[in-house]
């Protein structure tokens, strides 16, 4: 491989700025494909668009990509639409390492608001245009990318260091020289970083990750390992995991708990502590959570508490845990009076999301996980919400590419929110969209009667109804969300717990302040609002949704 680095992403994602700094760090030559087109034609990009049209520009762009990718030792910043050409995508992926710089719509709008050199944004509604471009191009960026880097943080040097670290991780060689064999092996895999300073950690997403011994061992530093799993997951994946750990010389303790949300309790936590103490596990022991959200939350809380904190690794095996609960460091157990009311913020060393494990997931569990996928689109990314609508059949049919993208985009969204608000001081509460109603359903029905994702799906329908009643979203948006939840195979009618019981249960919620129930609502679809609501509106929603 030539050692080339190719940057792809939407306009305004930082390709030119980051590319220059990265080239300097790697002692490579920097080239901007748009600048090359202007140099060849002698006119600016907007003029080419105006005189020749976009189709002609795209052909010029494809010619430039073909020529530039054939060079050696370069960092190339491509135009936002370079990936539209299939041949260009092949050149990019086969002739270097492709890094997708991903930026949110708000960040791009802020960066490009005074830039007159963006012909595609010369429109009355640049936000809508960017959302459309993102929906069209993101699958193509993901198709060619070997690495995905979030550019929400504006510090260029930080981004460059993050990229260099990811290149090291990808190569597995301890330097920035990329192994061609490993690059080809990683094409269907993605890594992204939860950026929390000294508590930062990677999320690895892809097929057959549990078959890669180096990936797991890289994140298990000590000689002692304690694997916590359950009776459903253990027969499927435990032995192969133990083989990898023992082959690496690790001394392994296993804890196999009964399956189910009702097991996320104090007794199970004590069972884990008993096993750790009986095996004389020390503070360098790495705990591994192998299972769904219950195992991940409980193992994380045990890791946070045992000897006042030992390292742990998340290996989520359900869709819900891969897209949500394994990311962000929320750990804990349930109490009969409230869900997740006892726990700690404690970040893992890494998250390894092997999407192959979703093949063995029951249909009901898959649907439950789709609730959290829908949530991420509803609160943050309207274009992603539209993508979910268009691809629900593929998701329920377990299409590998569709599932991988759903997991990746959900993790990107959650990682960005967690970066900004690790301990839920404000912004992070938006991730609880649908959860105020959902937790009440779980507590009121008894843990395990409804799956968490089922309760959240129904809770989102209720939150959308309440948003509509308060004038925050239109009727079409309300119907879109309810229809999507229903298409995912989730319940859209809430259980009749009685109005007094509903209110009592919702009053026991971590978001509440001063005795007031706080709700995450939509204003509009794709944007969240944290607010209290008039009781008459809340009661009207309860009556309508039961």
- Distance between CA 248 and CA 254 in Å, rounded? 16
- Distance between CA 422 and CA 84 in Å, rounded? 36
Does the annotation mark 264 as catalytic? Answer: no
Does the annotation mark 432 as catalytic? Answer: yes
Residues whose CB is less than 8 angstroms from the CB of residue 323 and which lie 6 or more positions away in sequence, other chains included: 369, 372, 373, 376, 406, 407, 410, 411, 414
Instruction: Pick the catalytic residue from 15, 452, 478, 518.
Output: 452
Instruction: Pick the catalytic residue from 419, 432, 442, 454.
Output: 432
CA dihedral angle for residue 129, residue 132, residue 138, residue 139, rounded to 10 degrees: -160
- Distance between CA 546 and CA 541 in Å, rounded? 9
The two beta strands, 350-354 and 201-206, are parallel
Does the annotation mark 439 as catalytic? Answer: yes
- Beta-bridged to residue 528, according to DSSP, are 522
Instruction: Pick the catalytic residue from 190, 204, 439, 518.
Output: 439
Phi, psi of 451 (to 5 degrees): -65, 155
Does the annotation mark 4 as catalytic? Answer: no
CB-based burial label for 70 (10 Å; 0-12, 13-18, 19+): exposed
Q: Are 309 and 301 in contact (CB under 8 A)?
A: no
Q: Which of 304, 337, 296 is nearest to 320 (CA)?
A: 296
Instruction: Pick the catalytic residue from 143, 261, 424, 454.
Output: 424
Helix axes 435-445, 452-469, angle to 10 degrees: 130
Does the annotation mark 391 as catalytic? Answer: no
Does the annotation mark 330 as catalytic? Answer: yes
Judge if the upstream peptide bond of residue 166 is cis by omega within 30 degrees of 0.
no
Instruction: Pick the catalytic residue from 419, 428, 478, 518.
Output: 428
Instruction: Pick the catalytic residue from 155, 198, 278, 308.
Output: 308
- Distance between CA 12 and CA 459 in Å, rounded? 36
Instruction: Pick the catalytic residue from 28, 95, 224, 330.
Output: 330
Instruction: Pick the catalytic residue from 36, 143, 261, 372.
Output: 372
Instruction: Pick the catalytic residue from 166, 414, 469, 478.
Output: 414
Does the annotation mark 398 as catalytic? Answer: no
Does the annotation mark 414 as catalytic? Answer: yes
Residues with active-site annotation: 308, 330, 372, 414, 424, 428, 432, 435, 439, 452
């Amino acid at each position: 491989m030539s050692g080339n680095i190719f940057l792809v992403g939407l306009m305004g994602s930082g390709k030119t700025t980051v590319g220059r700094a990265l080239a300097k760090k790697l002692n490579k030559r920097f080239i901007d494909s748009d600048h090359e087109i202007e140099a060849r034609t002698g006119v600016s990009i907007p003029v080419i668009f105006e005189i020749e049209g976009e189709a002609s520009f795209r052909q010029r762009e494809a010619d430039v990509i073909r020529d530039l990718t054939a060079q050696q030792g370069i960092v190339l910043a491509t135009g936002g639409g370079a990936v539209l050409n299939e041949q260009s995508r092949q050149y990019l992926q086969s002739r270097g390492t492709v890094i997708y710089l991903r930026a949110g719509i708000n960040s791009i709008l802020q960066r490009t608001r005074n830039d007159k050199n963006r012909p595609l944004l010369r429109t009355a509604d640049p936000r809508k245009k960017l959302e459309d471009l993102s929906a069209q191009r993101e699958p193509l960026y993901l198709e060619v990318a070997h690495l995905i880097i979030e550019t929400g943080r504006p510090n260029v040097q930080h981004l460059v260091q993050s990229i260099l670290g990811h290149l090291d991780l990808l190569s597995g060689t301890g330097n920035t020289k990329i192994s061609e064999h490993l690059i080809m092996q990683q094409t269907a895999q993605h890594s992204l970083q939860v950026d929390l300073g000294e508590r930062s950690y990677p999320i690895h997403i892809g097929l057959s990750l549990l078959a890669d011994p180096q990936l797991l061992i890289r994140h298990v530093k000590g000689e002692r390992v304690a694997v916590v799993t359950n009776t459903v997951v253990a027969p499927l994946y435990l032995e192969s995991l133990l083989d990898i750990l023992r082959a690496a010389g690790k001394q392994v303790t296993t804890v196999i708990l009964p399956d189910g949300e009702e097991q996320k309790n104090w007794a199970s936590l004590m069972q884990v502590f008993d096993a750790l103490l009986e095996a004389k596990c020390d503070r360098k022991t790495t705990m591994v959570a192998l299972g769904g959200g219950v195992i991940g939350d409980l193992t994380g809380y045990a890791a946070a508490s045992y000897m006042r904190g030992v390292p742990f690794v998340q290996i989520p095996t359900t869709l819900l845990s891969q897209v949500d609960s394994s990311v962000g460091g929320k750990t804990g157990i349930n109490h009969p009076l409230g869900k997740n009311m006892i726990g700690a913020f404690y970040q893992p060393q890494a998250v390894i999301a092997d999407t192959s494990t979703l093949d063995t997931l029951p249909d009901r569990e898959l649907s439950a996980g789709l609730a959290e996928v829908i949530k991420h689109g509803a609160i943050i990314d309207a274009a992603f919400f539209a993508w979910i609508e268009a691809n629900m059949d593929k998701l329920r049919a377990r299409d590998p590419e569709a599932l991988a993208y759903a997991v990746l985009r959900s993790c990107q969204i959650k990682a960005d929110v967690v970066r900004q608000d690790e301990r839920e001081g404000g912004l992070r509460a938006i991730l609880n969209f649908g959860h105020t109603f959902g937790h009440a359903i779980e507590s009121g029905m008894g843990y395990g009667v409804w799956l968490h994702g089922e309760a959240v799906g129904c809770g989102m329908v209720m939150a959308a109804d309440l948003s509509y009643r308060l004038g925050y979203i239109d009727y079409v948006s309300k119907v879109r969300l309810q229809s999507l939840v229903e298409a995912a195979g989730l319940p859209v009618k809430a259980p009749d717990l009685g109005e007094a019981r509903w209110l009592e249960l919702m009053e026991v919620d971590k978001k509440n302040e001063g005795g007031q129930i706080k709700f995450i609502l939509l204003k509009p679809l794709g944007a969240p609002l944290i607010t209290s609501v008039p009781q008459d509106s809340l009661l009207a929603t309860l009556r309508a949704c039961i």
